[in-house]
C-alpha cells in the first residue's frame, strides 16, 4: 500500500530530509480586505498575522452581477466585474488593520465583494507529513490553500481541501407546503416562504428574499421548489446536474420546479479568474428529512520547483449528501480548483476533483433526487501536464430512489449527473511586479515655445486630471490639453488615480518673443556680379543655397551670382526660427556689335556703327559728330580709339572699343585722274564699275559692311574697263568699297536694297 513506508527506509532517509520543513494541517492565514488607500495599503480586519516580506494572495471571492428576473435566466452572470480577479503581492510592513504593499495593486477590486487576503508561506524545501488542508470558506475568508516551495516538495500525505468551497444551500423544513395542491414553478423566493429550498452559494450575492427557489445563484445550484423537488448541483470546471422532480400521485402534490444547475464560470486564460466550487442547492422538504446542499471544493495553489508526489493525492471534491427520506434530495457540491506551477515531477501524483453526488431518495414516495455536482478545474503554467500527473475530474452522480417498494425505484426522476471538469494549460499566474512609488503623477518636462506657437501638455498616472490655471489651455479636465500661452506660465495638474488618491505635478511653459526674419530687398544686377546681403531680426543666420555665398552663417555675406536665384535665410534667437527670402535677378548684358579695328589713310572717312543695345554713348566726344548715334561717319586726323557704351532695356551696359589707325599714304590717286562710275547705286542685285579707259594694272576690289567686316572681294583684271559686282546674296544696307593697288587707293559707298 502506498501509505506505508518501511521503518528502515524512514531511518535511512531521516537525515536526508531533516533539513526540510515538515508541513501539515492549515498553514495559511486569512483576513478580509475592506478598502484600499492612496499609500498602496489594504484596509483589513486583522493584520496581526502578516509581516514585512510575506507573500500574499489577494482575491475577490464574490461580487458578480447576475440576472435577477423571475425566469430561467435568474442567476446567469451579466457582468463579472472584478470577481475572481487575483494577484500575488508582497507586504512592505503592517500596522493595526493595515497591510502596506511593496507592489502596485493590479486590480481595482470591489471591496464590498468579499475580497480576502491569504498569507502564502514560502519554503526552501518541504515535506507534507500529514494531511495538508485549508480553512473552510465561512462567507468571508477561507477556502484556499496556497504555498510556494523554492526547491522540492515531497508529499507523504494527501493535500485535501474537499468541501472547503462555497457552501451548499442550508436546510429549511417547510411543514406547511403545498397548501393548494399545485407545484410552485418560480425561480426566486424568500428563504422562509416555503415555495422553494435555499440555493447553493456562488460568486454572486442576493438578498434573502431572492435566495431560495430553483434558479441558480451564479455557480451555485438552485434549490428544489415546493413540492419536494430536488436541488441542482453546483458548477466549476464542469456544469452541475439539475435536480429531479417529485412525481405526483392522485393524493400528492407535484414537484416540477427542479433546482437548476449552477452557472458555468468563464475559466479562460484571457479572463484569468479563480473561483471556489459552487454549492449544491438544497432539496425541498416538509417532513424534516431533507438535507443542506453539498459544499463546493476549495482552491489548491501550489508552486514548486520540483514535486515528489509518491502517488499521493491532491483533492478538492464536492460534498455528496446522504440519502433523504420522503423529502427532496440535495444537489452535490462542485469540485474545486487546482492551480499548479511546477517545473519538474519526481514521482506520480493524482489530482482528484470530483463533483459531489446528489442525494438519493428512500421511502416509498417519488420525491425528487438531487443533481450531481460539476467536476473541477486544473490550471497549470506549462503547455502540458508533466507525465506522471493523473487526474479525475468526474462530475457527481445524480441521486435515484433506493426503495424497491417505491413506484420510482431506480429512477432519477429527471435529475442529471454533473459534467466532467476541465484542464487548462498556459495559465498566466499573476504576480504583481511594479514597485509602488507614492509619487504617481507624471507630466512632461518644462518647455519653451515662441509667442504664437502651441504645445501639448502631457500628464499620466491617473484617471482624472484637473489643470490650473485654465488660461490659454484648450481644456482643463483631460490628460493632454493644448497650451497656447502668451506669457510664461507654470501649470499645475492634480491627478486622481483609480484608488481615488491625489497627486500633483507642475510644468512651466516659457514664452519667448518670436523672430521676424528680414532677408533684405530683392535686387537686380547686370550679368554675373557681386551682391551684399543685409539680413536682420535675430541672433543666428543660415543662408541657402550656399552657392557663391561668402559665409552662410552671418547676416551680411557677399554673394557672387551668375543667374537669377532665390536665397533663403533662417533667422533664430536660439529658440524661435523664421524664414525670409530675397530674390536676386541677373539681367543679361547687351551684346554690342561694332566695327573691327581698321586702318585708313589720312583724310579718308570711315563709318562707325553699333548694334545690340537701345541707347549708345560714344567717346571721345571731341572726335565724333554725334555721341548717341548708332551710325556716323568720322574723318579722324590721327589714330584714335573710339569707345561705344550700349545700354539695353534692363539698364545694363556694355562697352566696346575700335581703334582706327590713320596713316599717311605715299601715293593716292585722285578719282579725277582715274575716271569711273558705279551704277546702278542703289541696287538690289549687282553693280557695274565702268572705267573711262582700260586699266593697265589689276586692282583689288573689297566691299565692307557697316561694321567694317569684309563681305565681298574681287580682282579687277588689267586690260578691261567694265566689271560686274554681284551683290544679290548680301542683306540690304550701306556698304563701303575700296579699290587699290600699289599705285591707287579709291573708296566709296554703295547701297544694297
Beta bridge partners of 746: 739
Domain that holds residue 657: 593-662
Mean pLDDT of 614-628: 93
Query: Please, are residues 497 and 504 in contact by the beta-carbon 8 Å criterion?
Result: no
Mean pLDDT of 628-639: 89
Asked if 680 and 747 sit in the same domain, the reply is: yes
Mean pLDDT of 222-238: 98
pLDDT digits (tens, 9 = 90+) for 12-59: 333 334 458 999 999 999 999 999 988 899 999 999 999 999 999 999
Asked if 446 and 503 sit in the same domain, the reply is: yes
d(CA 605, CA 587): 37
pLDDT digits (tens, 9 = 90+) for 347-395: 999 999 999 999 999 999 899 999 999 999 999 999 999 999 999 999 9
d(CA 302, CA 267): 18
Mean pLDDT of 141-160: 98
The confidence score (pLDDT) of residue 3 equals: 33
Q: Which of 265, 370, 382 is CA-nearest to residue 322?
A: 370
Does residue 446 belong to any structural domain of this protein?
Answer: yes
Give the SS3 label for residue 234: coil
The confidence score (pLDDT) of residue 248 equals: 84
pLDDT digits (tens, 9 = 90+) for 372-381: 999 999 999 9
Asked if 700 and 656 sit in the same domain, the reply is: no
In this prediction, residue 439 has a pLDDT band, given cuts at 50, 70 and 90, of confident
CA distances from 486 to 509, 514, 574, 575 (A): 10, 11, 18, 15
**Percent of the chain at pLDDT exceeding 70:** 96
Does residue 341 belong to any structural domain of this protein?
Answer: no
Does residue 452 belong to any structural domain of this protein?
Answer: yes
pLDDT digits (tens, 9 = 90+) for 646-671: 999 999 999 999 999 988 765 444 44
Does residue 10 belong to any structural domain of this protein?
Answer: no
Instruction: Tell me the CA end-to-end span of the chain in Å, nearest whole number.
Output: 142
The confidence score (pLDDT) of residue 596 equals: 92
We report the CATH number of the domain holding residue 741 as 2.60.40.3080
Mean pLDDT of 184-211: 97
In this prediction, residue 499 has a pLDDT band, given cuts at 50, 70 and 90, of low
The confidence score (pLDDT) of residue 744 equals: 83
The confidence score (pLDDT) of residue 284 equals: 97
Grid coordinates 518673443 are at which residue? 513
Q: Please, which contacts does 441-445 make with residues 24 or more away whose CB atoms are closer than 8 Å?
A: 441/493, 441/495, 441/503, 441/504, 441/505, 442/505, 443/493, 443/505, 443/506, 443/507, 444/507, 445/507
Asked if 561 and 605 sit in the same domain, the reply is: no
Is the pLDDT at 6 greater than 50? The verdict is no
Does residue 627 belong to any structural domain of this protein?
Answer: yes
d(CA 485, CA 451): 7
Q: Backbone phi, then psi, for 559, in 5-degree steps?
A: -125, 130
d(CA 353, CA 393): 5
Asked if 745 and 683 sit in the same domain, the reply is: yes
The C-alpha cell of 485 is what? 500661452
Q: Which sign does the torsion angle of CA 686, 687, 693, 696 carry?
A: negative
Does residue 469 belong to any structural domain of this protein?
Answer: yes
The confidence score (pLDDT) of residue 660 equals: 93
pLDDT digits (tens, 9 = 90+) for 243-293: 999 998 766 789 999 999 999 999 999 999 999 999 999 999 999 999 999
Count of domains for the chain: 4
Q: Which of the pair, 299 or 439, is modelled with greater confidence?
A: 299
Q: Which of 342, 424, 352 is CA-nearest to residue 391?
A: 352
Among residues 554, 572, 587, which one ends one of the domains?
Answer: 587
**Average pLDDT over the chain, rounded to an integer:** 92
Among residues 465, 480, 512, which one ends one of the domains?
Answer: 512
Asked if 537 and 580 sit in the same domain, the reply is: yes
Q: Which of 304, 24, 277 is CA-nearest to residue 147?
A: 304
pLDDT digits (tens, 9 = 90+) for 466-483: 999 999 999 999 999 999
Does residue 78 belong to any structural domain of this protein?
Answer: no
Does residue 542 belong to any structural domain of this protein?
Answer: yes
pLDDT digits (tens, 9 = 90+) for 699-750: 999 998 877 788 999 999 999 999 999 999 999 998 888 898 878 878 888 9
We report the CATH number of the domain holding residue 506 as 2.60.40.10
Among residues 463, 485, 512, which one ends one of the domains?
Answer: 512
Q: Which of 370, 223, 217, 345 is CA-nearest to residue 284?
A: 223
Lowest mean pLDDT among 499-513, 577-591, 671-685: 671-685
pTM of the model: 0.65
The C-alpha cell of 471 is what? 488660461
Query: Please, are residues 200 and 169 in contact by the beta-carbon 8 Å criterion?
Result: yes
Amino acid at each position: 500500500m502506498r501509505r506505508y513506508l518501511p521503518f528502515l527506509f524512514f531511518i535511512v532517509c531521516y537525515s536526508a530530509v531533516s533539513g526540510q520543513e515538515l508541513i501539515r494541517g492549515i498553514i495559511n492565514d486569512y483576513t478580509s480586505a475592506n478598502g484600499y488607500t492612496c499609500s498602496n495599503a489594504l484596509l483589513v480586519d486583522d493584520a496581526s498575522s502578516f509581516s514585512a516580506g510575506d507573500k500574499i494572495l489577494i482575491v475577490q471571492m464574490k461580487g458578480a452581477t447576475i440576472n435577477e428576473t423571475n425566469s430561467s435566466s435568474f442567476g446567469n452572470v451579466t457582468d463579472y466585474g472584478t470577481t475572481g480577479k487575483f494577484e500575488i503581492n508582497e507586504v512592505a510592513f503592517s500596522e493595526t488593520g493595515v497591510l502596506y504593499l511593496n507592489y502596485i495593486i493590479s486590480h481595482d477590486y470591489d471591496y464590498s465583494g468579499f475580497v480576502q487576503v491569504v498569507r502564502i508561506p514560502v519554503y526552501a524545501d518541504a515535506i507534507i507529513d500529514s494531511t495538508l488542508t485549508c480553512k473552510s470558506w465561512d462567507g468571508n475568508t477561507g477556502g484556499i490553500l496556497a504555498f510556494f516551495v523554492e526547491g522540492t516538495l515531497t508529499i507523504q500525505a494527501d493535500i485535501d481541501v474537499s468541501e472547503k468551497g462555497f457552501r451548499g444551500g442550508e436546510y429549511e423544513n417547510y411543514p406547511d407546503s403545498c397548501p393548494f395542491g399545485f407545484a410552485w414553478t418560480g425561480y426566486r423566493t424568500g428563504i422562509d416562504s416555503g415555495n422553494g429550498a435555499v440555493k447553493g452559494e456562488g460568486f454572486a450575492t442576493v438578498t434573502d428574499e431572492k435566495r431560495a427557489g430553483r434558479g441558480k445563484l451564479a455557480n451555485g445550484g438552485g434549490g428544489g421548489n415546493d413540492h419536494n423537488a430536488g436541488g441542482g448541483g453546483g458548477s466549476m470546471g464542469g456544469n452541475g446536474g439539475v435536480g429531479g422532480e417529485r412525481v405526483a400521485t392522485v393524493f400528492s402534490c407535484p414537484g416540477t420546479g427542479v433546482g437548476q444547475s449552477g452557472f458555468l464560470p468563464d475559466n479562460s486564460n484571457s479572463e484569468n479568474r479563480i473561483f471556489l466550487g459552487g454549492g449544491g442547492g438544497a432539496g425541498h422538504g416538509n417532513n424534516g428529512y431533507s438535507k443542506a446542499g453539498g459544499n463546493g471544493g476549495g482552491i489548491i495553489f501550489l508552486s514548486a520547483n520540483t514535486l515528489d508526489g509518491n502517488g499521493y493525492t491532491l483533492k478538492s471534491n464536492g460534498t455528496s449528501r446522504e440519502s433523504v427520506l420522503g423529502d427532496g434530495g440535495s444537489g452535490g457540491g462542485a469540485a474545486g480548483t487546482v492551480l499548479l506551477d511546477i517545473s519538474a515531477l519526481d514521482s506520480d501524483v493524482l489530482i482528484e476533483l470530483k463533483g459531489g453526488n446528489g442525494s438519493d431518495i428512500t421511502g416509498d414516495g417519488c420525491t425528487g433526487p438531487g443533481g450531481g455536482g460539476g467536476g473541477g478545474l486544473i490550471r497549470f503554467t506549462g503547455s502540458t501536464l508533466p507525465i506522471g500527473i493523473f487526474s479525475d475530474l468526474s462530475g457527481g452522480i445524480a441521486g435515484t430512489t433506493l426503495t424497491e417498494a417505491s413506484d420510482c425505484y431506480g429512477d432519477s426522476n429527471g435529475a442529471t449527473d454533473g459534467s466532467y471538469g476541465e484542464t487548462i494549460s498556459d495559465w498566466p499566474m499573476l504576480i504583481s511586479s511594479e514597485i509602488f512609488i507614492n509619487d504617481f503623477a507624471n507630466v512632461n518636462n518644462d518647455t519653451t515655445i515662441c509667442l504664437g506657437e502651441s504645445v501639448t501638455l502631457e500628464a499620466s498616472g491617473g484617471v482624472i486630471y484637473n489643470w490650473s490655471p485654465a488660461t490659454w489651455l484648450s481644456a482643463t479636465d483631460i490628460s493632454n490639453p493644448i497650451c497656447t500661452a502668451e506669457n510664461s506660465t507654470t501649470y499645475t495638474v492634480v491627478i486622481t488615480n483609480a484608488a481615488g488618491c491625489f497627486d500633483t505635478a507642475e510644468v512651466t511653459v516659457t514664452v519667448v518673443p518670436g523672430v521676424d526674419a528680414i532677408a533684405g530687398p530683392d535686387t537686380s544686377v547686370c550679368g554675373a556680379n557681386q551682391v551684399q546681403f543685409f539680413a536682420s531680426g535675430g541672433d543666428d543666420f543660415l543662408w541657402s543655397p550656399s552657392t557663391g555665398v561668402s559665409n552662410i552663417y552671418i547676416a551680411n555675406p557677399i554673394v557672387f551670382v551668375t543667374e537669377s536665384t532665390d536665397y533663403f535665410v533662417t533667422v533664430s534667437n536660439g529658440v524661435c526660427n523664421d524664414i525670409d527670402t530675397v530674390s536676386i535677378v541677373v539681367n543679361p548684358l547687351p551684346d554690342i556689335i561694332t566695327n573691327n579695328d581698321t586702318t585708313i589713310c589720312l583724310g579718308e572717312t570711315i563709318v562707325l556703327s553699333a548694334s545690340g543695345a537701345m541707347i549708345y554713348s560714344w567717346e571721345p566726344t571731341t572726335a565724333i559728330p554725334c555721341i548717341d548715334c548708332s551710325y556716323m561717319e568720322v574723318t579722324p586726323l590721327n589714330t584714335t580709339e573710339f569707345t561705344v557704351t550700349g545700354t539695353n532695356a534692363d539698364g545694363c551696359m556694355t562697352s566696346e572699343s575700335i581703334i582706327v589707325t590713320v596713316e599717311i599714304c605715299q601715293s593716292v590717286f585722285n578719282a579725277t585722274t582715274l575716271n569711273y562710275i558705279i551704277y546702278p547705286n542703289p541696287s538690289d542685285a549687282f553693280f557695274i564699275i565702268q572705267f573711262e579707259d582700260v586699266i593697265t594694272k589689276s586692282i583689288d576690289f573689297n566691299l565692307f559692311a557697316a561694321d567694317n567686316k569684309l563681305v565681298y572681294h574681287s580682282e579687277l583684271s588689267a586690260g578691261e574697263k567694265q566689271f560686274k559686282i554681284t551683290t544679290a546674296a548680301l542683306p540690304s544696307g550701306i556698304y563701303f568699297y575700296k579699290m587699290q593697288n600699289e599705285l591707287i587707293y579709291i573708296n566709296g559707298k554703295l547701297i544694297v536694297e
